[in-house]
Amino acid sequence: MTAALPAYLKDFSDAAPGHHFGLYYAGWNNDFTKPKSGTNDVLRSSVCKLPKHSRDLLTALAERQTAAAESLAEQIFSYPAIASSPFATGLGNEHPLENGFSFLTPYGLPYLPGSGVKGVIRKAAEELMSGEWGDQGATKGWNEESIRAFFGPGEEDFERDRDTPALQGALRFWDVLPTPPAAIKNDKALLTVEIMTPHLGEYYKGNATPNTSLTPTPLNFLAVAADAGFTFHVECNPARLSAEQQKNWQALIEAAFSHAGKWLGFGAKTAVGYGRMNLDPKVATQRESNKIAESNRQLAEAEQNRIATLPPEQRLLADLDHLLNKLPNDPRNGKPIPQLTSIGTWNELLSMLEAANHSVSSLDKAIRENLASDVKKRLSAYFKVEGKAEKVMKGHLAALRGG
């Protein structure tokens, strides 16, 4: 098609996908009629690819969102996801090809509006609240009070004024810009062409009754390719939450995102499997590692607090066991492998015994005798106590006995 444009406006090769799909669509005949074939090829060659200018712009927008998220610190929750199926959105937008698509103006990049994310996550929270999605901890902590606090009044809250500021939800969902399956520095296409085949076209036109013998009509539509990246950001206003909700809001939202990505989907055509997403495996592994580390830290802290409340003789034995348990055991029988007294742990144990002399000095002699006996059994089981080391150990045991 020949365009009546100045020469400097005829090269649109670096235009964004949304501009190629709208203003600069190249799939018309010379008389601006729709060709009978070739639509698929035109979409793949001009609309699906992500030109360098768009890749740079997408990188800049992603960096801007990341910087804004980092500045909010604890008030932001991020969920980096990978699409396990194609993602479609805005199919109802007007377009001569019958199926539109949502592009962010003026950038011409595909996006998922934050309002759409909010609707899906609210639906996920309501489904989890029902308790019908598992046996143990099925609700994941969701209840009617938390849904109202996080999202605001629902569509059925007719008795409340939904525009009253005091009833606004505590969460704000940012727009999401998908990124290509691989690094955005390459030339991989961000969009793909999907096909739907409605069988009842003539019925909807009023020319036939609905039946299975009607001829299907293939229709092309755009979708973000599977394996594309979607980084969701949720901003929280803690002033609208109770103290308990402020502690666990991120865990609740993460559970809702996980449920939505697996069972509900984002965007359009979710009933046939579009828009399914999972947490980025790398991020999932890191978060699981962080959870385990935090759990271990809490357990260690609880153990330290418990030991601190024990009588002096029991506290010393508990501290000794904590160090000795780090030494290797024989995998065949689980018994300790005797270590040489030249390792650092031996000297650390002796320092611990010396430091404990003052705390046990007021104990009865019988208790101190039993304590020294227990310490000797432990050290002899884990170390090859010989020669000079044996003399040193006897000296510390005599001090524990009060000799």
Tell me: do 379 and 255 sit in the same domain: no
Please write the tens of the pLDDT for every residue from 317-346: 998 998 999 999 989 988 999 999 988 999
Please write the tens of the pLDDT for every residue from 284-319: 999 889 989 999 999 989 988 888 888 989 999 998
Last residue of a domain, one of 262, 292, 322: 292
- Decide: helix, strand or coil at residue 333: coil
Q: Among 95-109, 171-185, 328-342, whose mean pLDDT is lowest?
A: 171-185
Tell me: do 274 and 319 sit in the same domain: no
- Tokens found for residue 234: 């949720």
Strand locations in 212-359 (E)? 219-224, 229-236, 277-279
Please write the tens of the pLDDT for every residue from 378-387: 999 999 999 9
- pLDDT value at residue 184: 46
Cα separation, 292 vs 232, in Å, equals 24
Tell me: do 245 and 98 sit in the same domain: yes
Is 300 within the bounds of a domain?
no
Mean pLDDT over 91-110 rounds to 91
Three-state SS annotation for 228-270? CEEEEEEEECHHHCCHHHHHHHHHHHHHHHHHHHHHHCCCECH
Is 378 within the bounds of a domain?
yes
**Residue listed under structure tokens 């955005």:** 184
**Residue listed under structure tokens 């997403």:** 277
Tell me: do 316 and 283 sit in the same domain: no
Is 303 within the bounds of a domain?
no
- Tokens found for residue 47: 């609309």
- pLDDT value at residue 13: 79
Range of the domain at 382: 311-401
Tell me: do 211 and 331 sit in the same domain: no
Is 103 within the bounds of a domain?
yes
Tell me: do 268 and 221 sit in the same domain: yes
Is 260 within the bounds of a domain?
yes
pLDDT value at 210 more than 60: yes
Tell me: do 234 and 86 sit in the same domain: yes
Last residue of a domain, one of 236, 258, 292: 292
Tell me: do 360 and 390 sit in the same domain: yes
Mean pLDDT over 120-145 rounds to 84
Q: Domains in the chain: how many in total? A: 2
Is 3 within the bounds of a domain?
no
- pLDDT value at residue 196: 87
